[in-house]
Amino acid sequence: MATHVKRAFKYRFYPTDAQAAELSRTFGCVRKVYNMALAARTEAWTLRRERVNYNDTSAMLTVWKKTDELAYLNEVSSVPLQQALRHLQAAFTGFFAKRARYPRFKSRKKSRRSAEYTTSAFRFQDGRLTLAKMAESLDIVWSRPLPEGAQPSTVTVSQDSAGRWFVSILVEDPAVGPLPVNGDAVGVDAGLDHLLTLSTGEKITNPRHERRERERLARAQRELARKAPGGGANRRKARRKVARIHARIADRRRDALHKISTRLVRENQVVVIEDLTVRNLLKNGRMARAISDAAWSQFRSMLEYKARWYGREVIAVDCWFPSSKLCSVCGALAEKMPLHVRAWTCGCGTTHDRDVNAACNILAAGLAVSACGAGVRPQRRTPGGQSATKQETLRREP
C-alpha cells in the first residue's frame, strides 16, 4: 500500500478567553523548557566536552517539574514541552550536519509563539478539535475541507505578531501524488519589472505587495515611533497595527506565489530556474527592498516541494550562466548588457526581448543538465574578460 504525502492544513481559529490564557501559558512554558535545555546542552559541552541528547534533556525536564520554582510546568500539557525538546534535538542535528547555525535562545518578544501536540494530547472527532487541558473544542474557521477520513498526526497551534491565532493540522493527503507524465518543460527567468518571465513568452506581473502598502506602513511605523518605550497599552496597540500590515503583505504575497508555483508544476514536467543567491543580491542597498518583496527564495521553495509531491522535476541553472547576454538562436555572446537594456538585436539579425531570451537560454541549459548531468557555466568569454551575470549586474546597478 502506497504511503501518502503528509500535508499540513492551516486554519484560523478564535479562542475563548480561557483557551487564549491556557495557550499563552503553554507558549511560555515551551519557550522556557527550550531555553533551559539549550543552556544545559551548551554548558555541558563548553565546560565538560559532554554531549547531551534528547533523552538526557527529557530526564532533566522531569527533575525541573519537581522543583518549587518550575512547578508551574505541570499546569500545562506535557506533550508540547517534550516536542520542544525534540525540536531542539533536530536543531542540533542540523547544526552538526552543517545545514544550519547553532541553535539560538527563544525570545519572548521576537520568537514564534507556538506549541505542537501529538495524538495523545488532542481529540479530533466529527470535525471538532479539542486540545489537552481544555474543556471546549476550538472555534476553527474551516476555510477548506480536510481530506475525507483524515486523522491528524500532529496539531500545531500558533499566534502571529498581528495577534491572529492559527492551527496547523498534519494529515496524510491521498489527493497528492505523481501526475501523469507529460513532455512539457519551461524556463523561468526571475525579475523585478515582471516577477517571472517564461520561455513561452508569458510574463507574470510583479504585484509589488510591499510597495502598495508602503505609505500605510510608513504612517503606522511613525505612530509607533512616537509612542513612549516601555510596553504601555498604546505602544502595544501601535505595534500590533504595524504587524497587521506586515501580515497582510505576507499573506497576499504567499497566496500569489502559491497560485503561480502550483500552475507551473501542474502544467510542466520540468521547470528550470536560475540558482540565484538572494543573500548576495540583497547587498545592493537600492534594490534590496524590491528583491525582498519579490520573494524569489520562497517561490523556489514552493516549486521544489510541490515538484516532489507531483513527480515533477525542478532544475537550477548555475547563477553564473550568462542567460541574458547569450543569443538563444545562434549562441553568440553579447559583450555588454546593462540592466536598463530590455531589448537587443544580435548579429544574426534576431531581436530579443531580454527576459524572454534569458528564459529560453535557462530552459536550454537546464535540459542539457538533465540530459548529461553537466554543470552549467559561462561557455564563452568576451575579449574584455568573463561576462557579467544578473547577480553581478544587480549588485552593481546604482
Do residues 354 and 324 make contact, with C-beta atoms less than 8 angstroms apart?
yes
Could you tell me which residues come within 8 angstroms of residue 190 by beta carbon, excluding any fewer than 6 positions away? 196, 273, 274, 276, 294, 296, 299
C-alpha distances out from residue 148 to 100, 117, 144, 171, 336, Å: 37, 22, 12, 10, 57
Answer yes or no: 136 catalytic: no
For 76, the grid coordinates are 500545562
What sign results for the dihedral spanned by CA atoms 89, 95, 100, 104? Answer: positive
Could you tell me which residues come within 8 angstroms of residue 230 by beta carbon, excluding any fewer than 6 positions away? none
For 328, the grid coordinates are 538563444
Answer yes or no: 355 catalytic: yes
Report how far residue 227's alpha carbon sits from residue 237's, in angstroms, rounded to the nearest whole number.
10
* The Cα angle at residue 340 between residues 338 and 345, in degrees rounded to 5: 70
Answer yes or no: 56 catalytic: no
Do residues 234 and 225 make contact, with C-beta atoms less than 8 angstroms apart?
no
Which one from 189, 210, 293, 304 is the annotated catalytic residue?
189
Pick from 103, 37, 46: nearest CA to 70: 37
What sign results for the dihedral spanned by CA atoms 247, 250, 256, 260? Answer: negative
| Residue pointed to by grid coordinates 491572529 | 164
Which one from 22, 210, 293, 355 is the annotated catalytic residue?
355
For 375, the grid coordinates are 554543470
Pairing of strands 154-159, 128-131: unpaired
Which one from 22, 116, 210, 274 is the annotated catalytic residue?
274
Report how far residue 195's alpha carbon sits from residue 206's, in angstroms, rounded to the nearest whole number.
4
> CA 281, 285, 287, 293: dihedral to nearest 10 degrees?
80
Name the strand (E) or helix (H) holding 367. Answer: helix 354-372
* The Cα angle at residue 307 between residues 195 and 198, in degrees rounded to 5: 30
Do residues 76 and 26 make contact, with C-beta atoms less than 8 angstroms apart?
yes
Q: Give the residue numbers annotated as catalytic, written as ranges.
A: 189, 274, 355
